[in-house]
Amino acid sequence: MEKIRAFIAFHLPPDVREHIEKIQNSFLDRGVRMRRVRSENIHLTLKFLGDIEKKHIETIAGAMTESMKDFLPLHLSAGGIGVFPNIRKPRILWCGLKGDTHELIRLQKNLENHLEASGFEKEKRPFKAHMTIARMKESPNPQHLRKAMEESANLFSSPFCADEMILWQSRLRPSGPVYSRLQTIGFTNRY
């Protein structure tokens, strides 16, 4: 069986990715050592599936469709900065969201339930709505990191509409991951 690495996410419009790129640059300008995620690869992950068999793509698309039935497109803004796992040993720099975040969390939970009913393992960790914008192999200077986080805390992008859930394939390359769309499911309900 042919396997592919896959995840489900919302794609971000160019102006939101540009906003995040400015935040990345402000961290680099402050001396925070990090490997930033390429702008075209920044997305809002709803479910990381890992390695799946290609034959399951249609099943996953069906679960995506079912999970979106009772929802309207989401209106969100990107902003607010944090780190995983914590400020003492940061490994991931992320950008948060504001707007329809309660609906986003409800939608993600609904997606998890439909995928679980289709035979996919449920995520054990609670969902934290974010976009990964950089990775850190070594802990940066805490003062530089805190200062950059404070300066970026209230910078939010213009609002955007998350109206298509996408099943992506991820191919890992030495230069970084390459993503390609496998399925795109739009919301059937509209404003």
**Residue partners of 181: CB distance under 8 A and separation at least 6:** 166, 167, 168, 169
| Strands across the sheet containing 160-162 | 35-36, 131-135, 92-99, 74-84, 160-162
Specify the pairing of strand 74-84 against strand 160-162: antiparallel
Please provide residue 23's backbone torsions phi and psi, each rounded to the nearest 5 degrees.
-65, -45
What is the distance, to the nearest Å, from the Cα of residue 161 to the centroid of all Cα atoms in its chain? 15
d(CA 57, CA 117): 15
d(CA 177, CA 52): 17
Note if 43 is an active site residue: yes
Note if 11 is an active site residue: no
What value does the CA radius of gyration of the chain take, rounded to a whole number of Å?
17
Tell me if the domain spanning 3-186 has CATH number 3.90.1140.10. Answer: yes
The active-site residue, picked from 19, 56, 114, 130, is 130
The active-site residue, picked from 43, 102, 114, 144, is 43
d(CA 92, CA 133): 8
DSSP, res 156: B
| Reported pTM | 0.93
pLDDT in tens, 8-51: 999 999 999 999 999 999 999 988 989 999 999 999 999 999 99
Q: What is the pLDDT of residue 26?
A: 92
Closest C-alpha among 109, 128, 125 to residue 68: 109
pLDDT in tens, 68-102: 999 999 999 999 999 999 888 999 999 999 999 99
Segments in 95-163 forming alpha helices (H) = 101-117, 142-152
Share of the chain above pLDDT 90, in %: 82
For the chain, what are the domain ranges? 3-186
pLDDT at 191 over 80: no
